[in-house]
A and B are shown apart, each in its own frame.
Chain A
Amino acid sequence: AQSVTQLDSQVPVFEEAPVELRCNYSSSVSVYLFWYVQYPNQGLQLLLKYLSGSTLVKGINGFEAEFNKSQTSFHLRKPSVHISDTAEYFCAVSEGGGFKTIFGAGTRLFVKA
């Protein structure tokens, strides 16, 4: 069965510093991978997705993620964060051809001035 582990529950970082939010998944078949962001009192917004093809995917707001099949990881990165990036970030996996999308527990990114 598929599962998602987000390795950090909270990540504090200073403004303009780089950040990496880590995500590992478990699945026995091919997968689709996603990162979502949730701002306070809002729903989840799709940041980026990996369906197939290039393992480096670029998303909105300057974020990117790299799919590593051998390490079953899909880490999210941004070279320089802003205060406005403070939010909760969710990694999600859906087994290729499947219907269920399973979410990780979330990582709270806190950007300090």
Chain B
Amino acid sequence: DSGVTQTPKHLITATGQRVTLRCSPRSGDLSVYWYQQSLDQGLQFLIQYYNGEERAKGNILERFSAQQFPDLHSELNLSSLELGDSALYFCASAAADRPPLHFGNGTRLTVT
């Protein structure tokens, strides 16, 4: 058990909808990272937060947004969902603002 908690584990929704994925980092970790894992694109870095502030941005679409709250949990918001957004979304946390990362078990999003 990595200590990183992601909810929900599974999410099924329709195209055009909006969903929120939640992540609680390991106790004491200040950094939260979001990754998208799909069969065709592998593991893609989306965004990183450190102690509430955005630190790095990767291949995150404009339809996606994230934030880290004062209690350090993070949420990833996905809107105007498309079929291609179906993927596993992982959250990872780190003690400081750099690796190694500790991953949660992911949220499997299915867009129908």
Query: Which residues of A approach B to under 8 Å, CB–CB?
Result: 32, 34, 36, 41-46, 49, 90, 92, 94, 97-106
Contact = CB atoms under 8 A, between A and B. Distances in A.
B45 A100 contact: yes
Contacts of B48: 99-100
A43 B2 contact: yes
Identify whether the interface residues of B are mostly helix, strand, loop, or mixed.
strand
A46 B98 contact: no
25 contacts: A34-B99, A36-B103, A42-B105, A43-B2, A43-B4, A43-B103, A43-B104, A43-B105, A43-B106, A44-B90, A45-B103, A46-B100, A46-B102, A49-B99, A49-B100, A92-B99, A94-B98, A99-B48, A100-B45, A100-B48, A100-B58, A101-B101, A103-B35, A105-B42, A106-B42
Contacts of B35: 103
A105 B43 CA distance: 7
B85 interface: no
A101 B45 contact: yes
Contacts of A98: 56, 98
Interface of B: 2, 4, 33, 35, 42-43, 45, 48, 50, 55-56, 58, 90, 92, 97-106
Identify whether the interface residues of A are mostly helix, strand, loop, or mixed.
strand
Nearest to A97: B98
Contacts of A32: 98-100
Nearest to B42: A105
A41 B6 CA distance: 13
- Residue among A36, A44, A104 with max Cβ neighbours from chain B (10 Å): A44
Task: Report, nearest first, the 9 A-B pairs whose CB atoms are least far apart.
Answer: A43-B103, A99-B56, A103-B43, A44-B103, A43-B105, A105-B42, A94-B99, A99-B55, A100-B56
Given A32-B98, A97-B98, A103 B42 contact: yes
A108 to B, nearest CB: 12
Nearest to B57: A100
Contacts of A46: 100-102
A43 to B, nearest CB: 4
B102 A101 contact: no
